A and B are shown apart, each in its own frame.
Chain A
Amino acid sequence: MVNIIIWTIAVVTLLGLLLALVLFLVAKKFKVEEDPRIDEVEKVMPGANCGGCGFAGCRAFAEAAVKAPNLDSQFCPVGGNETMAKVAAILGYEVQAKAPQVAVVRCNGTCEARPKVNEYDGFSSCYVKSLLYTGDTGCSFGCLGCGDCVAACQFGALSMDPVTGLPVVDQGKCTACGACVKACPKRIIELRPQGPRGMREFVSCVNKEKGPVAKKACASACIGCGICAKTCTHEAIVFENNLAYIDPSKCKLCRECEAMCPTGAIHGVNFPKPLDKDAVKERIKMRQQKAKEAAESQKKEEKKDE
């Protein structure tokens, strides 16, 4: 009896050692030479494998980063500057800090502002819906409301607001990976710089229709009146195809455009105080009057000189 136990232990141990030796030799012989830095880089990556950087996953990003001559063309939106600094330290490259970004939904056509003109009872997918027609509201540019963006978000940062029928971004969870931007067939979601203390100003509409048509479809659409562009003293507002766009790199967050927008299409978020529209309008009025007076006096002086 004891003999059997001893023999079994001895045979199994011997077999184990023998196989271990074989495995060791095979591993030695067929070893794939890999840059050890790939593993190091992968370790500091967030490990979300979201594809937001444009690579298949964190390891693919690490492989590409090790091979690349610099890190200019690569950025991990999830890890942000912190991760990129770590990656740069491992690889001995230099990186420039990028402004952290956040997804912004550029449609404010709530159920109230943008009444339904027909009922969609097809498959609940924005992409399928966009293949079939322009949507169940009069606006052919706005949010379709089936939540492809919510399904695309791996970080749980997006949710549909049942009251407005529009997606809402949870800034704390958004990593700006860009999955929702790709998922939206209407290209409504945009990645914008987070702004100082999260404060940012943007046009929450993508309707390129002419004013009356846009207004008929949605009460809070950008009607392309151009008042915002005229008001802005920082040349931050680009005006194209009946649609205003605020260039975040030039915007000084003065909120003047927001106060002047007749439809409320311009949104400011995370500001400490609510916008006092009348005060801002008064301020703009005073400034414009002063400018007018200055121009007139200058004219007079010119005349005097003559």
Chain B
Amino acid sequence: MYRYDEFDEAIVRDRIAQFRAQVARRLDGSLSEEEFVLIRQMNGLYLQLHTYMLRVAIPYGTLNSRQARQLALIAERYDRGYGHLTTRQNIQFNWPRLADVPDILELLADVEMHCIQTSGNCIRNVTADHLAGVAADEIEDPRPTAELIRQWSTLHPEFSFLPRKFKIAVSGAVHDRTVLAIHDVGVQIVFDEERGGIGYRISVGGGMGRTPMLGKVIRDFLPKEELLSYLEAILRAYNLAGRRDNKHKARIKILVHEIGLEAFRERVERIFARLDRTSIDVDAAERARIAAYFAPPPFADLPAESAALEEARRRDPALDAFVRTNLIRHRQPGYAALTVSTKPIGGVPGDVTAEQLRVLADLAEAYSFDELRIAHSQNVVLPHVRLDDVPAVWARLVEAGLATANAGLVTDIIACPGMDYCKLATARSIPIAQAISERFADPARAAEIGPIGIKISGCINACGHHHVGNIGILGLERQGIENYQITIGGDATELAALGERLGPGVDAEAVPDVIERIVAIYLAERAPGETFADTVRRIGIEPFRPALAAPKEAVREAA
């Protein structure tokens, strides 16, 4: 993985000195509270419902064991012993004190980490496929591109005070595991022999929130060497013309929608044509320098199948269940990636304790070339595990409460922090996730249902990605009572789609029943081999509408 050079290190250290001085200027009154908000947000510090929350960037979701141990230390020393993994591959601490934040930043810098631009109206931490360097469908590893974007976007003098936040994701594979379509800019690595080999397909104007939109392709092939200048052109067009009169209309998606993709493309191309590209774009040597850090680890030559693993699976049905759901085929024969679920039955999606972080660090070090990945599903991935080692890794995960065999299943729920932590929330998310998880606790039943993505947001801002959930749940408040809108048909893959509302919202207590009825309709309707998403795509959402209403018997009983 990438290692800081003297310049990367200096930026992160200087940033801490800057933040210390900024806190001092807030305390002596030089900075107003409103001005300080601007500054602390650019350093990932939010004021939540109860306390501050500090969001730490995990660029493109890659961590090593040293970093994971440092996060564990921070969780213990400055938080309540745990951290929370987010849908943007970050980790956040919910209980730090403002006065401790500069010290936390120092601890992070010691392991080449930071909180730069994890909040605020700037270019946020860049995300990428959590199966980079693992997946067989990869055209090119997205991490060098993501790292280049990380550096270019860090403290960008022109783009640090945009109309609104700006999220970029990079995918290098045929199948999209980054939800490119919901990003302000999606960078997809493509191969086109006639146009010079590897390049980028750039989409623009995706986003969630109260006006969800899928990104549109603005350039179907951008030569690799022009990436940064093209991004600058997009950002400048947005910075100059994005709406600043209404926070809810300030994302680039609204600008692109209001003036139209063609008009926006013209503006971008006009700016692009005049930029001094040689001063912006990096040369092949710099791209190669970064890419070298992401060279494949020294894999051993192994047979494609592991007799030891197969034997262990026959002996232990729990291991077998784990392998069936949480093991991802690796392109390197004899290896696999393992999904470590942070969603035990009834647990808080995305929460990991300091002890669990240390176990993950140990396992990464011993079995996965010292690498961990954070997936946008809020789970952790051990990317390079020998098949022979899977039983040993699994046994440690079991001890640590990290072996839930539910990756991609009905209980692998994405949920935002909701009313339990967030100032913006209009309803609770975590307890809804817990209730659904408990309702579907039987692993045999979950396996029978198969892959399905339930995503829960506690307000219209949609941090829980409910719009692209196969089943989406949006918590709102109606006359003082939490009310949950259910959507069906969302898709977070390369077939990206926004869900449609089933009908009127339901009470919190009714949500698990509604989900159960939706699942029952799917099980009755599905053709052989179909996933939930396939069935909805084929039959549409109409057959699911009855799921909202309680069956007649129940109504009679209640009366």
A and B assemble together? no
